[in-house]
Every structure is written in C-alpha cells, then in structure tokens.
C-alpha cells in the first residue's frame, strides 16, 4: 500500500512539473557518536527525500542497511544487535516547514527553516522539531539539518559491554540536494 502511495507521488511529481515537488534518491544522512573511548561515524547516501515547495511538506525515507561504517564489524553490530534491521529495515521522517513565510523558493539565498514532524526509527515514532537551512540556487534546492537523537527514545537497547563506546546522544546530519 505504501509503495502504491509512493508510486503515486512519484508519478504526480514527475508528470506535473508545476506541482513543485522535488525528489532526490541520493540524500545523505550521517550520524556521529562521540565518547572518550571511540568516535563512531556512519553515512547513508541512499536516502530518498521529497520536498514540496508549495505545501512546505518534507519527507525522508532511508534503509538502515544503507549506513556505511569505517569497520565492517561495527556495521554488523549496528544492523544485527542495535537496529535489528531485518525486522525494522526503514526509517522515515514526515514533516512540514513551520515558517514558510520566511522562505522564498524563487529567490536565491540561504534561509533558516524550522521543521516539525514525526521521526520513525526502529519501529518507534516520535514528534521532533528541528532547525535547518534551505539554500536556493538557480538549479538546486539544498536542505541541511543537524539534530540530536537519543537511542533509548526509540527503544534501541545497547548492551552493557558496548555502552561506554556509544554516546547517549547521537548527532544526525541530513544533507539533501534537489535538482530543479
């Protein structure tokens, strides 16, 4: 069902350019965990983003398995033990720009965006509100945001042995470029 809705969105957005809906399949989502013992970083370069400049809605979807780590062993632990990515293969965000009057998608420049919506990770959905930026150029719309996520909010349990190596708050950076 979700696929059909997604397909409908895709069809609509590609066939009616006037709908002002932009799609990327190569959005980047990074996360960073810092502890005195170890810094852990992972990057996902396959996030799908949909930005509707008319309604101000913003959506992201990604596959947990698409996160790439520096070490294969970390990636394995991440998928098998923490995120249970076979059971919860996806993560998503569905939200809206709360200050649309302050952003002009027709005038080049960088605008501050205040985005509110629902973030789903590990099967748990939470309301979040984050600040970000939207850069408008002649050919592109670039959306960026950095915010903190607490794994325990999403029922992600981290075993005692590795707890010292993983921060309580994970810094998430979203960077999506839409071609216009």
3-state secondary structure of 157: coil
Q: Is 20 helix (H, G, I), strand (E, B) or coil?
A: coil
Q: Out of 10, 128, 142, 172, which residue is the one contacting other proteins (CB under 8 A)?
A: 10
Closest by alpha carbon to 118, among 127, 131, 105?
127
Measured from the CB atom, the residue of 6 and 111 that comes closer to other proteins is: 6
User: Measured from the CB atom, is 69 or 82 closer to other proteins?
Assistant: 69
- Site pattern 87..116 for other proteins (x: CB under 8 A): --xx--------------------------
Q: Is 37 helix (H, G, I), strand (E, B) or coil?
A: coil
Q: Using the rule CB under 8 A, which residue among 21, 59, 85, 143 binds other proteins?
A: 85
Q: Does 158 bind other proteins (CB under 8 A)?
A: no
Binding other proteins (rule: CB under 8 A), the pick from 73, 107, 127, 161 is: 73
- Least separation in angstroms between CB 72 and other proteins: 4
Residue 85 or residue 143: which is nearer to other proteins going by CB? 85
3 state DSSP class of 84: coil
- If one asks whether residue 70 binds other proteins (CB under 8 A), the answer comes out as yes
The Cα-based distances of 67 to 42, 58, 81, 144, 169 in angstroms read 6, 21, 14, 18, 18
The neighbour count for residue 57, using CB atoms within 10 Å, is 16
Contact range with other proteins by CB under 8 A, out of 45-53, 107-115, 124-132, 150-158 = 45-53
Strand partners, 114: 131
Q: What is the dihedral of CA 75, 80, 83, 86, to 10 degrees?
A: 110
Binding-site ranges for other proteins (CB under 8 A): 3, 6-7, 10-11, 25-26, 45-46, 48, 61-66, 68-73, 75-76, 79, 85-86, 89-90
């Amino acid at each position: 069902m979700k696929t059909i809705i997604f397909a409908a969105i895709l069809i609509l957005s590609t066939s009616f350019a006037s709908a002002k809906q932009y799609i990327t399949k190569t959005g980047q989502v990074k996360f960073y965990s810092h502890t005195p013992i170890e810094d852990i970083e992972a990057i996902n370069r396959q996030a799908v983003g949909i930005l509707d400049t008319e309604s101000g809605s913003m959506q992201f979807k990604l596959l947990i398995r698409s996160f790439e780590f520096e070490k294969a062993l970390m990636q394995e632990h991440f998928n098998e033990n923490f995120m249970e990515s076979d059971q919860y293969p996806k993560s998503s965000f569905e939200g809206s720009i709360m200050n649309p009057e302050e952003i002009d998608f027709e005038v080049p420049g960088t605008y501050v965006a205040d985005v509110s919506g629902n973030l789903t990770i590990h099967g748990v959905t939470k309301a979040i509100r984050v600040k970000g930026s939207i850069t408008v150029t002649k050919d592109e719309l670039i959306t960026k945001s950095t915010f903190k996520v607490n794994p325990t909010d999403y029922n992600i349990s981290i075993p005692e042995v590795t707890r010292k190596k993983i921060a309580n708050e994970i810094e998430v950076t979203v960077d999506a470029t839409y071609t216009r």
